[in-house]
């Protein structure tokens, strides 16, 4: 029961402090789930995150479900998911009640502009901290460059990038194993 509460509270904090969507949660996942609690590895977080992007729904909810399930099965998944969505639910109720009164307020507009900058910085930090664990050789660098370029210049769904990258990883591993 203590671990279920820990899952709920960790993901509650992540849900409460993550502004900007699933990408912004990566640094907190790394710090809380890997470094602080040791519930999983950095590599597993990357795998869960990639799978979460491929699945329907919110990335944060999917990642919470994967990590919670790994720790405590279905009960852990439920605890983690409830933890990550509860802050958003509370905030949405409050914002919906107050938004019409403050939407045109210059301070609110500037605050949201500042939050966007902070989210961009957190995403860059997550990329830098995960780079060494995700891109390990020249093949990885080339695959990264191809996916990055295609994601900028095309409208392909991220699902295709993940699926095609998985297939490339399998084919390249097979080829390397046959040599």
pLDDT of res. 179: 54
pLDDT of res. 136: 82
With a threshold of 0.85, does the pTM exceed it? no
pLDDT of res. 155: 93
pLDDT of res. 67: 94
pLDDT of res. 150: 94
pLDDT of res. 1: 78
pLDDT of res. 6: 96
3-class SS letters over 50-110: HHHHHCCCCHHHHHHHHHHHHHHHHHHHHHHHHHHHHHHHHHHHHHHHHHHHHCCCHHHHH
Separation CA 70–CA 57 (nearest Å): 19
The series of mean pLDDT values per 10 residues for the chain, 179 residues long, is: 94 86 80 93 87 84 93 96 94 83 85 89 84 82 91 91 89 74
Separation CA 64–CA 81 (nearest Å): 5
pLDDT of res. 114: 92
pLDDT of res. 84: 94
């Amino acid at each position: 029961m203590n671990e279920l509460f820990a899952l709920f509270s960790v993901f509650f904090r992540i849900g409460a402090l993550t502004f900007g969507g699933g990408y912004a949660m990566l640094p907190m996942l790394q710090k809380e789930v890997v470094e602080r609690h040791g519930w999983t590895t950095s590599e597993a977080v990357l795998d869960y995150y990639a799978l979460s992007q491929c699945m329907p729904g919110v990335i944060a909810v999917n990642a919470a479900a994967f990590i919670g399930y790994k720790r405590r099965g279905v009960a852990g998944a439920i605890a983690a998911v409830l933890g990550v969505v509860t802050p958003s639910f509370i905030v949405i109720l409050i914002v919906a009640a107050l938004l019409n009164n403050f939407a045109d307020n210059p301070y609110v507009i500037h605050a949201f502009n500042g939050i966007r900058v902070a989210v961009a910085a957190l995403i860059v930090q997550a990329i830098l901290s995960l780079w060494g664990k995700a891109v390990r050789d020249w093949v990885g660098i080339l695959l990264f460059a191809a996916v990055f370029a295609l994601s900028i210049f095309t409208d392909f769904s991220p699902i295709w990038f993940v699926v095609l990258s998985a297939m490339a990883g399998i084919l390249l591993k097979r080829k390397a194993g046959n040599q």
